[in-house]
Structure 1
Amino acid sequence: MDPAGGCPHARNARLRERGAVAPVVLPGDVPGMLVLGHDALREFLAHPDVAKDARHFTALAEDRIPPGWPLRTFATVRGMTTADGDDHRRLRSLVSRAFTIRRVEGLRPRIEALVDELLDGVARQAAVDGVVELRSRFALPLPMRVICELFGVGEEFRDRLHHLSSQVVSTDTTPQEALAANKEMVAVLAQVAAARAKEPGDDLTSALIAAREEDGDRLSQEELIGTLILFVIAGHETTLNLITNAVRALCGHRDQLALVRAGSATWMDVVEETLRWDSPVSYFPFRYPTRDLTVDGTVIPQGTPVLAGYSAAGRDPAAHGPDADRFDLTRRAASRHLSLGHGAHYCLGAPLARLEATVALERLFTRFPDLDLAVPDEELPAHAGFVGNSVRRLPVRPGPDAREG
């Protein structure tokens, strides 16, 4: 696996020709496996003999993984993403009620207000030189502000947390950088937790702390910080990539944008097809077979760290047809994608990500109907690392503001 990342789709196509499961070499010459076929990945994600707890990671248990390994946080952070069985259900239940479809829908007015506020900023910048860096000015601040408001993270922490999140999920950092980023992120979120413990508010961090105090066995300090790490990173990085990738897809497929405007497709269709066609996550770490496991004819040895190949599964012709590489909003099978996971660890924040993305895209293209990329898509710099899948910059020409017309 190239730690520098880059667009995964050509590599995925080559790997899929060899099979639905592939051996890979992770950074630091750590052997692993990648599941990239749709059906194989669906089976693997829900298999009863596949675990998330790193005690099943043989190389880690044998102390063969150095402290500064860039992917170590994915294995060792304490929280829902590294818990199994009753432990996983306990941790998930503490926050799941905040992410029901009904609760998330109650956030719509606030999300709409934030989108309009950010679009006002886009309009002001466009009036200056005609070009706006949409990723940093729109696609990033929306999910970052929403998740931080949900968890009571003060504005003074947000820019730093985004920077640290980017380093934590990157796969091309040095051991020193990885250790420093993880240490600082824990420290910053410990400050957030301490502030909420001192002055509780109507936020999830305060609720988690209250639950711990009511029953000391329910949530340890380490699990609290691990939960905050999970939601701060996953709560904005994936939605940031989703919005970015959807804008690129629509700008590159004006015929599909025309379908939405004609009422032949919906903004939710845009979100679902983007999730399939250009998943916000390429290869997500880790799961571990608790015994030697045969998946689609390939043996994955017990204790092997396995990557979930979401970007590869999304374009698997066996699941999505011979035109799987085509962005098509009329593809009703798009809802079969696995980009938000499958099984017990299905993405808890899926309703929120979908709401943020649909509101953002509808209002963006309604207000700026002529919006287009300022440079060819192939010239956009790819996301650093192989976990996230997107580009680092998104310069656009918004064109006339419909509100001014």
Structure 2
Amino acid sequence: MRLDPAFKADAPRRYEALRRIGPIHRAKLSSGIDGWLVVDYDLAREALTHPALLKDPSPAAETLESAGYVLNQPGVGLGGQMLEADGKEHTRLRRLVSGAFTPRRTADLAPRIQQIADGLIDAMASRTTGDLVESFTAPLPVTVIAELLGIPEEHRDNFRLWTSDALNLIADSHRSSLASLHGLLSQLIEEKRTHPGDDLISALVAARDDEDGSLTEAELVGTCLLLVVAGHETTVNLLGNAVLALLHDPAQMRLLRRTPDLMPKAVEEFLRYDTSVETTTHRFASQDLELGGRLLPRGSVVVVALSSASRDAPMAAGEDPTVLDVSRPTARHLSFGHGIHHCLGAPLA
């Protein structure tokens, strides 16, 4: 099985067929690597918290390098941040970042987010035709994250170009864009050390405590880069998928228009129905292990199909997981992950 464009074009039906066969399957992953794909909700939760499935790629170094990945190369990729950390190091990074990325900071940004969204919608309404992604779903998160981080206006046009494919770390594809982002963020971090502002980069630079110390230069750059990449692409996908789902189901669109108070439930349902991230990043077996009745040798590469697992989440009797229901009482999903790597930015999303 290959996770190629043909598979993704019919992903819900194909994932449903895979779940009927079993919870985990051998697959050619989107990265081109031979690995394992978890498609079942319960096994996904187990895999995302399994103590022997780690972010450390060392056990699979040969496999990754043969597929074109570059490991531990300075200035390239998403190194130095908690998405790729395990154990105590992850705990230290998450604690420091959480101290800067507070719920209050997120809440304080809400009026500005509404203002940005209104401006983009007004601009679209003034035209007879338009592209929703180009005119709204892409510029909205770029602008919000830029303001959150404190990135000057003159640099914001580069975000979309530099971050569109940044989670794909195949060596020859995106190194120049990643290097450009690294350079920009390093420059801004240095400026914030001497001229701090009321922004997240300044707060991250200042974050420290007696137990965890402070973030290193590489950790600061990696954390900011992660926020740019993850916050941009996931929001673009969520908004686009939600609008498409409503266009395919006019009755649900009418219901949401009549009852805007349903929006919080609707957002959770959009995340469940067509999640903004199809699969997790790679996890690597640090030892031989058993998962879903299959034996995985040390060095095996595992990804979780979040879109499949979310469609497989437990529901009340009579509920249909294949149907969009913006009034669903509890829309369980794994769109923000599970376990220690649960998305820190979920409240902002």
- State the TM bucket, normalised to the shorter chain: 0.7 to 0.9
Residue 82 of structure 2: which of 67, 80, 83 is its match?
Answer: 80
CA shift, 1:233, in A, is: 0.5
Mapped contact 1:287–1:306 kept (Cα < 8 A): yes
Q: Deviations over 1:75-134 (max 9, x none)?
A: 862211011122111111222144444442222211111121112211222xxxx22211
1:149 aligned to 128, 147, 150, which one? 147
Instruction: Output aligned runs, 1:198-347, within 5 Å.
Output: 198-211=194-207, 218-263=214-259, 266-316=262-312, 323-334=320-331, 336-347=332-343
After superposition, where does 1:31-110 map in structure 2 within 5 Å? Answer: 31-59=34-62, 64-67=66-69, 77-110=79-112
SS across alignment from 1:307: strand
The letter for the 1-side match of 2:96 is L
Counterpart residue number, 1:168: 166
> CA–CA distance in 1 between the matches of 2:257 and 2:172?
50
8 Å contact from structure 1 (residues 39, 319) kept in 2: no
SS of residue paired to 1:132: coil
Q: CA deviation at 1:352?
A: 0.4
Calculate the TM-score normalised by the size of structure 1. 0.76
Q: Per-residue CA shift, 1:173-205, capped at 9, x if unaligned? A: 7x4333323322322322332333343211121
Q: Distance in 1 between matches of 2:193 and 2:103?
A: 28
Q: Distance in 1 between matches of 2:77 and 2:62?
A: 11
Counterpart Cα distance in 2 of 1:209 and 1:186:
16
One-letter identity of the residue aligned with 2:146: C
How many angstroms apart in 2 are the aligned matches of 1:221 and 1:60? 29
Q: CA deviation at 1:275?
A: 0.4
* Aligned residue in 2 for 1:26: 29
Structure 2 segments unaligned to the other structure (5+ residues): none
Give CA-to-partner distance per residue, 1:198-228, whole Å, 9 cap, x none. 4321112122223479999532221111111
User: What do residues 236-276 of structure 1 show as CA deviations (whole Å, max 9, x unaligned)?
Assistant: 21011111111111122121122223339601122111101
Q: Distance in 2 between matches of 1:20 and 1:93?
A: 33
- The alpha-carbon distance between structure 1 residues 81 and 187, as it changes in their structure 2 partners (threshold 3 A), is same
SS of the aligned residue for 2:336 comes to coil
Q: Aligned-pair distance for 1:305? A: 2.0
When normalised by structure 2's length, the TM-score is 0.87
- In structure 1, what is the Cα distance between the partners aligned to 2:30 and 2:45? 26
> What is the one-letter code of the residue matched to 2:51?
P
Q: Which amino acid aligns with 1:285?
A: T
Residues 1:296 and 1:341: Cα distance change in structure 2 (over 3 Å): same
Amino acid at match of 2:110: R
- Cα offset, 1:331, TM superposition: 2.6
Matched, 1:17 2:20: yes
Letter of the structure 1 residue corresponding to residue 147 of structure 2 = E
Q: More deviation in 19-28 or 247-256?
A: 19-28
Q: Distance in 1 between matches of 2:51 and 2:212?
A: 30
Q: Which residue of 2 aligns with 1:357?
A: none
Cα distance in structure 2, aligned partners of 1:74 and 1:18: 39
Q: CA deviation at 1:9?
A: 2.2
Cα distance, 1:99–1:209 mapped onto 2, change above 3 Å: closer
Q: Which of the pair has the greater relative contact order for Cα pairs under 8 Å at 6+ separation?
A: 1
Give aligned-pair identity as a percent. 38
